[in-house]
């Protein structure tokens, strides 16, 4: 059994990790930390876990994280970089769901996240945890930088086209929407029910921290300079993400060949569903599951390809993807513990 610790188990990604790992056949939950909720039984905070998680939260200084095989950080940015060095030195593998190790450029990280990076020696070692693109490196890693939710949709949508040299890399557009849970489990005016319900708005239009992350990863697949316009939006639903991606084609290719390109790219990816050409994937078709669904469109009379991508921002966009990485790191089948079917209605 894999002994698992979770640092920061009271947020949405933390409870999602608990939901998935409590049912994982090869995992033993060992420690769940929370300074504020020290001593509180996990099931008292999250009744959905009654009878499945019998641990109590413990303060970080009381938890024996070095006795774990792997520790997940479901924490604000900056926490993992402070604690990861000691854990790695003790032989514990680390999966960070925040952004501490996503950017290889330390200056870019400090610019976008407004904090000093205190573990720069680990930045280069960290493996970007997008299994569909980095599967082999993840298997050998001891430190994983779990991708952002928006970047997951953008990369899985654009990479097949970039890899094939079929699109203009300097004019990519991503118009993406996320449910309110993407903002985290905190009291904030913008995410109050009366503010976010029956409302729709864009944010981060002038610049969003997921843009440099996505651009840097996309750059790995082309010699052209990446130019990405990314606009996120907040939609009045709890969970779910929809990204509409636009790219200009540089070569004459028919729709059947475009479809075949994506089907070939993801033929061995259990959690990427390439739907029939012209389909309209819905966010509810992925709710509660680790599945990402995408579909291609080609507006008539244009040289533009449109990729529609949906996922659950808390599962494939965060905790499910982290568990997927853990499975690979420990030699398990990638799908272990992640076969949940989406909830409908």
| Measured CA angle at 322 (ends 18, 295), to 5 deg | 115
CA count, 13 A, side-chain hemisphere, 31: 22
Q: Are 249 and 292 spatial neighbours (Cβ–Cβ below 8 Å)?
A: no
Cβ neighbours of residue 54 closer than 8 Å, sequence gap 6 or more: 41, 42, 43
Q: Helices (H), strands (E): how many in the chain?
A: 11, 13
User: Is 149 an annotated catalytic residue?
Assistant: yes
Q: Are 228 and 211 spatial neighbours (Cβ–Cβ below 8 Å)?
A: yes
Whole-angstrom CA distances from 218 to 47, 141, 269 are 41, 21, 19
Closest-CA residue to 84 (of 119, 130, 60, 57): 119
Closest-CA residue to 292 (of 279, 278, 281, 277): 281
β-pairing, 2-7 with 27-33? parallel
Cβ neighbours of residue 298 closer than 8 Å, sequence gap 6 or more: 255, 258, 304, 305, 306
Closest-CA residue to 316 (of 280, 333, 340): 340
Q: Are 148 and 323 spatial neighbours (Cβ–Cβ below 8 Å)?
A: no
Cβ neighbours of residue 103 closer than 8 Å, sequence gap 6 or more: 109, 112, 123, 212, 213, 216
Catalytic residue (one of 53, 149, 315, 325): 149
Closest-CA residue to 145 (of 133, 158, 157): 133
Q: Which spans in 61-119 are helix H?
A: 79-89, 106-113
Active site residues: 149
């Amino acid at each position: 059994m894999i002994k698992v610790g979770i640092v920061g188990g009271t947020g949405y990604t933390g409870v999602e990790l608990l939901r998935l790992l409590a049912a994982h056949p090869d995992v033993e939950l060992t420690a769940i930390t929370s300074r504020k909720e020290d001593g509180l039984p996990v099931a008292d905070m999250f009744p959905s876990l009654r009878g499945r998680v019998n641990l109590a939260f413990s303060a970080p200084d009381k938890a024996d994280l070095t006795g774990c095989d792997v520790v997940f950080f479901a924490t604000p940015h900056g926490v993992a970089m402070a604690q990861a060095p000691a854990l790695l030195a003790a032989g514990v593998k680390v999966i960070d769901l925040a952004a501490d190790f996503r950017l290889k450029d330390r200056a870019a990280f400090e610019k976008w996240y407004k904090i000093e990076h205190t573990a720069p020696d680990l930045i280069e070692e960290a493996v970007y945890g997008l299994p569909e693109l980095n599967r082999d490196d993840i298997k050998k890693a001891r430190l994983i930088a779990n991708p952002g939710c928006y970047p997951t949709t953008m990369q899985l949508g654009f990479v097949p086209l970039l890899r094939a040299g079929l699109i203009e890399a300097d004019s990519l557009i991503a118009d993406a929407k996320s449910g309110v849970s993407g903002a985290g489990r905190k009291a904030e005016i913008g995410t109050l029910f009366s503010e976010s319900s029956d409302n729709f708005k864009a944010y981060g239009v002038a610049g969003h921290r997921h843009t440099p992350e996505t651009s840097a990863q996309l750059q790995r697949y082309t010699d052209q300079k990446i130019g990405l316009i990314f606009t996120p939006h907040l939609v009045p639903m709890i969970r779910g993400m929809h990204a509409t991606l636009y790219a200009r084609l540089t070569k004459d290719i028919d729709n059947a060949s475009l479809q075949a390109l994506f089907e070939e790219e993801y033929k061995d990816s259990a959690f990427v569903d390439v739907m029939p050409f012209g389909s309209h994937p819905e966010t509810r078709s992925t709710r509660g599951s680790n599945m990402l669904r995408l579909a291609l469109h080609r507006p008539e009379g244009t040289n533009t390809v449109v990729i529609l991508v949906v996922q659950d921002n808390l599962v494939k966009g965060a905790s499910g993807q982290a568990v997927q990485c853990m499975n690979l790191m420990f030699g398990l089948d990638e799908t272990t513990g992640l076969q949940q079917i989406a909830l409908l209605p």
